[in-house]
Structure 1
Amino acid sequence: MTDLQWETLDDEVAYACEGFDIVRERVRLPNGEETEFDHLSDAESVVVLPFTADGDVVVIDEWRQAVKRRNRGLPAGNVEGEEDLDAAVRRELREETGYRAGAVEHLTTMEPANGFSDAVFHYYVARDCEATAEQDLDYNESIDVETVAFDSLVAAAREGDLRDGRTAFGVVYYALFEAEFGTR
């Protein structure tokens, strides 16, 4: 086997904005050649699959400017500062939906696009969620909240109607491995 690791010789932020940075690196490839590599750098995020006590899922519908449409999704957001993941799950759920989680448990962690991004998504299941407050949205969030049957989300993923990738992954992953985590 060959050593596949690239050596980073230098890096700089080529572009920065509120949501992410574009990092430009000067790298040396395993064959000795030097080149540039650009990637999107983003904070770690949590994605929450929140179940009510009745077994429905709390979902959000949010405007997504990049694709110019309303999008069905799961509550999600960046981990802030030194915040632990469980706290980030509870905060994002409360801010985006006004719901409070009873118990939370880690489902899985993935790198959704590691060919061009260092993003990491930590998936959690939240149980016994109940509406306890008003939403506390960021200035640039437009979100409606509702509850739906889990099976309708699986059907939407199967039909190609659940277009948000992190949501579709979380729903399908849970559906595939749900026996390990208990009943819906």
Structure 2
Amino acid sequence: MTDAPDDDLAWETTASEIAYTCPGFDIVRDDVVLPDGTETDYDYLDDDPAVVVLPFTPDGDVVVIEEWRQAVKRVNRGLPAGSVEPDDADLTAAARRELEEETGYVADSLRSLTTLEPANGITNAVHHVFVAEGCTPTGERDLDFNESIRVEETPHEALRDAVREGDCRDGRTALALLYHDAFRPESEGDHA
């Protein structure tokens, strides 16, 4: 077993196994050879691709969720997000489904914003970020058994302020919002 990269920084993977599995992710242990020839192992979280949705109402507010996050033992404020499922026709379908399941909101339109690797030092997770426009609460929520979620609308500026002030610490939300605000064309106005 070997890796393809032809770069003097690349590690060679000589073996790989699932060290631990649970609902939602696996922990993978790779045996690797470092560029200097050192043999060691490396563990990482193997996660399915996910979508993150930055949903705007017709008035320009952002639909956010508040959800209990056991790992940090607190309620987290952020954007709707979730794993791409085998039944999803494509990433846009996954984004539409996650938005409706978690919030009950349905979007008039969705567009891809960016793709990010939020913590590639410890996980192979890939997050596909979408902007949803014209979101209205006309759908039906369908939460997973282990999701405890509150839904609300907040002004775009208030969410940006919460990220800046550290009140919104969710990494997916901060990355999506800041990427959107930094790189949107001026012709799109304040939020779109």
1:82 shift after superposition: 5.8
Give yes or no for contact 1:154–1:175 (8 Å, CA) kept in 2: no
Paired with 1:4 and 1:82, the residues of 2 have a C-alpha distance of: 38
Counterpart of 1:80 in structure 2: which amino acid? Answer: E
Q: Is residue 140 of structure 2 the alignment partner of residue 134 of structure 1?
A: yes
**1:62-101 paired onto structure 2 within 5 Å:** 62-81=67-86, 83=88, 84-101=90-107
Per the TM alignment, residue 181 of structure 1 is displaced from its structure 2 partner at its CA by: 7.2
CA distance in 1 between counterparts of 2:69 and 2:35 reads 40
Between the aligned partners of 2:120 and 2:174, the Cα distance in structure 1 is 18
**Offset, 1:133:** 2.5
1:13 and 1:77 map into 2 onto residues whose CA distance is: 22
- In the alignment, the residues of structure 2 paired with residue 114 and residue 154 of structure 1 have an alpha-carbon distance, to the nearest angstrom, of 25
Residues in 1 aligned to 2:154 and 2:182: alpha-carbon distance in whole angstroms: 19
- Aligned twin of 1:25: 30
In structure 1, give the amino acid aligned to 2:181.
A
In structure 2, C-alpha distance between the alignment counterparts of 1:133 and 1:48, rounded to whole Å: 16
- Secondary structure of the residue that 1:172 maps to in structure 2? helix
Residue 16 of structure 1 pairs with residue 21 of structure 2: yes
Distance in 2 of aligned mates of 1:113 and 1:57: 25
- Number of aligned residue pairs: give it: 184
> For the structure 1 residues 20 and 7, does the alpha-carbon distance in structure 2 shift closer, same or farther, using more than 3 Å as the test?
same
AA in 2 matched with 1:111? E
- Read off the aligned partner of 1:66 and give its amino acid letter: A
4+ aligned runs moved over 2 Å, structure 1? 178-181
- Aligned mate of 2:126, from 100, 120, 133: 120
Distance, in Å, in 1 between the alignment partners of 2:187 and 2:125 is 25
Match of 1:175 among 159, 173, 181: 181
Q: Distance in 2 between matches of 1:133 and 1:47?
A: 18
| Unmatched tracts of structure 1, length 5 or more | none
Scaled by the length of structure 1, the TM-score of the pair is 0.95
Q: What is the CA RMSD across the aligned residues, in angstroms?
A: 1.5
Task: Give unpaired runs (5+ residues) of structure 2.
Answer: 1-6
Specify the alignment match of 2:10 in structure 1.
5
Q: Identity over aligned residues, as a percent?
A: 60
**1:49 alignment partner in structure 2:** 54
Under a length normalisation based on structure 2, what TM-score does the superposition of the two structures give?
0.91
